[in-house]
Structure 1
């Protein structure tokens, strides 16, 4: 199994992950029906996001939390949705990569999922 170590690795990971997400019965509708994601625009953002998180590059500019709040108002984004997102992410990493950076990517995604689930729940209570 290969180590996760380059921008190309991130692109492969993100592409494979979002292939799963886009056809997923549990969370795919958020991307396809609610957000109506333009994948040609979204994927490069995600490459930059993960490159910044994992490799410390200053590639990503944006606020991922802010992008999710409007969707959460249309259809509640529940903790179970983020847990499923994390499950797909972890599966994809395990299919493609091993090593410390792969573990870091899983750890950071777990933190993101927890924080996003919490913030979306709190936003619904306001």
Structure 2
């Protein structure tokens, strides 16, 4: 199994992941119907996001948490949605990569999913 080592690897991972996301019954609507994601803009941001997280390359500029609050106001982003996001991410990583950075990608995604779920729930209560 290939190691996750380059930006090109991240691009493959992110593209494969979002190919699953847009077909997923539980979470696709957040991307396609609510956020109406412009994939030509979103995917390069996600490449940079994961490159920053996994390789320490500070190429990502943005506020991932802030981008999700407006979506959460339209349709609640609940624990089950983040669990599905994490499941698809983990599956995609494990299908394509192995090694320390692949493990790190899963670990970081677990933390992101927990934090996002917590913050979205908190925002709905306020």
The 3-state SS of whatever aligns with 1:67 is helix
Structure 1: 4+ residue segments shifted above 2 A: none
Task: Please report how far the alpha carbon of residue 71 of structure 1 lies from its aligned counterpart in structure 2 after TM superposition.
Answer: 0.3
State how many pairs are aligned: 126
What are the Cα deviations for residues 56-112 of structure 1, in whole angstroms up to 9, with x where unaligned? 001001000000000000000001100100000000000000001100000000000
Gaps of 5+ in 1: none
Gaps of 5+ in 2: none
Tell me what 1:43 maps to: 43
Superposition RMSD on alpha carbons, in Å?
A: 0.3
Tell me what 2:95 maps to: 95
Q: TM-score, normalised by structure 1?
A: 0.99
What CA distance in whole angstroms lies between the structure 2 residues aligned with 1:62 and 1:119? 17
Tell me what 2:107 maps to: 107
Task: Please report how far the alpha carbon of residue 23 of structure 1 lies from its aligned counterpart in structure 2 after TM superposition.
Answer: 1.1
What CA distance in whole angstroms lies between the structure 2 residues aligned with 1:41 and 1:20? 18
What CA distance in whole angstroms lies between the structure 2 residues aligned with 1:122 and 1:109? 20
| Residue pairs, 1:52-67, within 5 angstroms | 52-67=52-67
What CA distance in whole angstroms lies between the structure 2 residues aligned with 1:60 and 1:77? 23
